Amino acid sequence: MKINEDLNRLSQDQRLYQLEVPVIGLTGGIASGKTTVSHKLQEKGFAVINADHLVKDIYALPETLKFITTEFPDVIKDGEIQFPLLRQYVFSNIENKVKIENFIYDRLAQAFKAAFNKLDHPKMIIYDVPLLFEKNLQHLFDMTVLVYAPREIQRTRLMKRDNVLEKMADSMLKSQMDIEEKKLKADFIIDNSKSDSELAEEINRLIHKLQIH
């Protein structure tokens, strides 16, 4: 794969985790379709690291279970974290959300580097990270890509996907930066509000931008 050298916008010391290769930040809103796009890019041979997968690995650590047991004992049953209940704690109370996010993010760099070291010397990394703009990380990426869907579509998809009521869906959506604000910040927009075939065309547009043809 020959990458477009125009993507090499940052020096190594400016880049996320001081990586030697360009890092493309792939983000979106809840239920905007970011995971679908991430999978499609991986299928086409791009090196993708998924922040949600890293977070799941962190949640599997004994120290995380100990932390959750201490801070939120009500979400532990038979020695395991009950994630639907933990989600309610997170999205109903901002202090809970901050406390858990801080614990996870303190361990994310190490998890990322471990995932990167498993890859076969990629010339570019696509980092799938939901809270890219919320955490003000955009300056650490050579390029940011937003998977976009309007709020109404997000809400409908979220209610169906997670089997939650509209009130909970709105609470979850409000926990992130509004998708329209993210749209103004991103370098590249993938519109995922239409058909599957149109999404495929949008992904091909991105690939054309990333590669030399």
Using one digit for the tens of pLDDT, what is the confidence trace for 113-122? 999 999 999 9
Same domain, 42 and 134: yes
**Average pLDDT rounded to a whole number, residues 56-78:** 95
pLDDT greater than 70 at residue 79: yes
User: Beta strands 80-81 and 76-77: pairing type?
Assistant: antiparallel
Same domain, 176 and 80: no
CATH of residue 152: 3.40.50.300
- Give the CA angle between residues 27, 28, 33 to the nearest 5°: 110
Is residue 66 exposed (0-12), middle (13-18) or buried (19+ Cβ within 10 Å)?
A: exposed
Per-residue pLDDT band at 1 (split at 50, 70, 90): low
Same domain, 72 and 51: no
Same domain, 145 and 177: yes
Q: Give the C-alpha separation, 129 to 140, whole Å.
A: 12
User: Beta strands 48-50 and 143-148: pairing type?
Assistant: unpaired
Same domain, 151 and 185: yes
Query: Tens digit of pLDDT for each residue in 193-211?
Result: 999 999 999 999 999 999 8
pLDDT greater than 60 at residue 51: yes
**Average pLDDT rounded to a whole number, residues 148-177:** 90
Same domain, 190 and 91: no
Same domain, 101 and 169: no
Same domain, 199 and 100: no
For the chain, give the percent of residues with pLDDT over 90.
Answer: 79
User: What per-residue confidence (pLDDT) applies to 213?
Assistant: 53
- As for how many domains the chain has, the answer is 2
Same domain, 158 and 177: yes
- Give the CA angle between residues 116, 57, 42 to the nearest 5°: 45
User: What per-residue confidence (pLDDT) applies to 174?
Assistant: 87
Same domain, 45 and 78: no
Does the pTM exceed 0.75?
Answer: yes
Query: Tens digit of pLDDT for each residue in 36-49?
Result: 999 999 999 999 99
The dihedral through the CA atoms of 58, 126, 87, 134 has a sign that is positive
Question: Containing domain of residue 141, as a range?
Answer: 5-12+19-57+115-210
* Local structure of residue 206 (DSSP, 8 states): H
Among the three residues 44, 76, 106, which one is the final residue of a domain in this structure? Answer: 106
